[in-house]
Structure 1
């Protein structure tokens, strides 16, 4: 079915947005229903609207409409002016264009012709059985059987899988879109002002590559620091460390291993190296300076210097001097170690600082080992000096020249890298941003279980594709079956039966035997044409009423041709009333009711309808009155606790034209709810019987005077159709209210002088309405009508939807 229609530009319609205009009093949007009654005055836009539906039928827009633009929303997909050639709706439209296209003779009786059509001819049992078998197999949705019902089930499964896939896909897409916009695009650290859902999908794919490794926390911190890094000056020079241990050891070893002996050794000193050192140091404090011992104050022996010089020979003095020189050289090497590496971490870019700290610490450790070797060498020299006559052996060194040089090379490489960073800093920052962004995306994708969601969505897509394929195959099978039915029916086509059907409708519904349609062969008997015949002769100068009757009967009959039979038709009937009298208007209604609107009973007692959707538009209020009596289709809806109930599936609309633009609205209640003005007036009076109703709707109370006067005039005119008194209305009121003449006269006076006129009592227009008094009068009149004729009163109550009165 078709649900809504937006018309941006088409004829008198401009800027029509259904959801803005077609709303009930509760501001709820209302759709087209199965049965739709449309009222509009002449030139309001009814025919223009029918032409939108006619465009669906013939699959093209009228050539006379410039730049048409509209969208039709329905259960078989939306259709726009651009996609009109391809849609899935079966539409049949009766309007002025249908008459022009098919019954040109009625428009131009000189050159026009009437197109022939065929309906099923004589019965052929074999073909009928084949058609019946296919139709049984096709079944129906309403009958809950056959391929059509199964297709509905498959459609629901297709829709369910599409919804499930769409929901899961949209949910993931929304997560990706939100993260891309809020966490990446707005984060200046990532520098991605143009970043969207496509970008984050690409980044997620990048994190799936084998060579991707996400950043550690420390690496992220380093990347962030790099983004803040400004260009540094180049580091001048390189690290060069010249180790002298080997030469120092080579110079020390002869001194440590050289053996010397005193000329006349003093055994006591030889036995005690500390004492020997103490004596040797004492020589410098006493020779040529003192005659007494500075320690014991005793006079020095005369031969003390000869004895000591015999012990401490010139050879030992030379060795001591050589040892002092060696110790000084080693000590200088030890002191130089602290200045070997003068580079600082702040001289390097952020990304090199960690490596510099590592290499610098490793170098310091290696140099510490080197320093220990130097200190061991120094210690050996000092020990030999302390005991010149004792040979000392050196231990093997433990430092590694190659390790130290490796760390030196590493630091020099960092210097080179850092110096080159100035040229590549911006490029490095871009790489850092990319790495940080990918790390963020990776963490996010893990948090939302992206891979699992993709697997889930792919599985749902597989289900959806399967359901779609199943539905398409079932739909194809139905189309093929329907084509087979059409082909079988084509074998029974008989153009003469089309003319006979039109004539049957003219005769049966309108009693019109004066004119009829005949199918005649052309001269070579190869084709058939329709002619309108009156009294056995070709008819011309048809009245407008006759043209309307023939055209509408032709349309109804054509619904039985093979192209329409068995299809779920959307039927649009535009204003079939033109120059017809009251009887013919009723017959048109009867034709629509009996052949289109009235349901057919299924074997299980349920209703089947001969149309998928029905639209009827009119400008004629009498015809509108009849249309309110059409059989109203029902549909089942789910009520409370999962129970189903049947509700009416119809709606009433109105087309209005304001200036140059037409609009579609819900039909107002005064047109929709009342068959005649008489019923409307009775309802307004009935609303005034209870004064509390004024709190809900005060309008009936303000219009009470006019409504009551007009109602009584109509009611009493038909009750007492003739009086010879000049004031017939007054006399009818007196007669109806009987013996209560004074009350009746008082009532009339109030009606004429106060309730229905302000001219005689203008001050009443400036006073509040007397609600209790109005209710009293309303109840008085209603009680009188009930007392006079209970059946009529209850019939009036029924017409306005109120329960019968029993007392």
Structure 2
């Protein structure tokens, strides 16, 4: 329950409001009286912010504090407040009622919920239209891209068909290959690989390749050279040697070669002389077994070195399949020079071993051997044989190899097609546009259920139409306007205002619009469940604007029926809601509501006054006794005038701001009570001239006519010379009534006393 407003800062006429000391707390029923421009509507907007739980942009930056039964509600925490509030004011009317349409078919859009729902429907329908337009555009773009992609596929398939001589090969075949290639690593071939693959793929059976023999070569020099190093460095051991033979190796070799012919003594086969046993023994001793073994090693090495010379022949390149010829020639080109280098090294080693054989006793060292003679030849032979092996495998599996080459070449062109498509981005563009198209379809598909839901909300919002009609008849009479449901061009339900004869209600008066708005508000409140309504705070700001006295009674009756209840006519009034606030500038309406006095311990009815005390300063305080005691605004108006007349400082702003309107209104009521003729036939000036005299009446009314239409200090500040006449004008009025109607003046003064 709200107990009081402790402060308001930076809000309209409440620039620095603090609750006046001694002001009573809010009760269950709270009536707030104030003249126009005093700050009633601004106060209602503060309550409306508690209802919305969101900041009103017009109230942004203001500070406020409501004291409650629990923690204070301020601008910092009001969005978290759990209190339930409902507010009727001019903002509610603007938000919920719009009287649109032409003069022959006025349509009433009734209810913020239904209007908001219809606005959402209109937006959704517009979105659907825009989406349909975009979808058509996207569909056209997708079809154009599909056509371009299909054309490129057709052209690519035609190229592959003609280049590789595969028939049939259509865009459909290309599409199948695209699915395969797209999941593999890149199938692009190097230029040579592609050329070989195409050549093999196009090779007819009549030109299928034949097999060729692999090369057989086992170059051996390193082991022989290693052995030669040992053999050439070795010398035989001798027990007794013949110096002549030792010094003449050729003779020695000659003698050694023929010694076996003279196994026994006898005549020499060369000279015929007798070969003595001693000489034969000497020769045999010279040629020892160690020498013989050594010579055999040297001679054996010599034979093997001579045999190591390499003689190798190889197939001609023309004997191989064309795709291998270039690589074959590159590999085979290494062999001639390598073989020649090997054979030259062998010849050189042969000569060195031969010299050792000719002079066994001489220690020798072979010339250094070049590195890698065997490896170069072996590697070259291995490379050549690898190519020959590929050629032979191809020859042996020609049909499969040709098929594989055709597949490689074809996949190369398919990959090329895919890369070109990626570069052009046609597939990506198409897929992107298709996804946008599908998203739009899904997006639009969600709209219809939402539209149906919103239309159901509108229908639900219009269920109170008959109840509103009942209230209109009560407030405005049987001739009042009524609401009926009509269809707009889009087939949506709308409320149309009609007269009793069924004709469209044109040019609705302000009073009729006020009655419609308040009827709608009361009907909306009845949507709240009773248990929830008991916990709801209701604030109503001036619901009787532009209504005459009869209608004011009807509005009062409607308020009494909805917000107050009695068990019987003698029982006290009780409120049906948690707290009830009404602010008004109409004293008659104020008095009618004042008659309803709900009884509750310490929380009954409360009366408050809002008054303007400065240009940007209003205050909310307890109702003055002059208003609280009497059933008339007249006493209060006189009290304002009397207080000014008695005030020692007549420049105080709180007095100046109230005085012009109070003076003008008091003169109207006083002169009318004295001269109660037809109200519309006489002006207050005319009545005042009759009662006060022409000159005095002009002095009294001139200044108050001027200032009563201004509500700012600027108007006072710009007319200093007139301000000085305020005191004289008030004095003239007091004197005029005192002179002409002393009992009336005495009674008024008495009424202002405590």
What range describes the TM-score normalised by the shorter chain of this pair? 0.3 to 0.5
TM-score, structure 2 normalization: 0.37
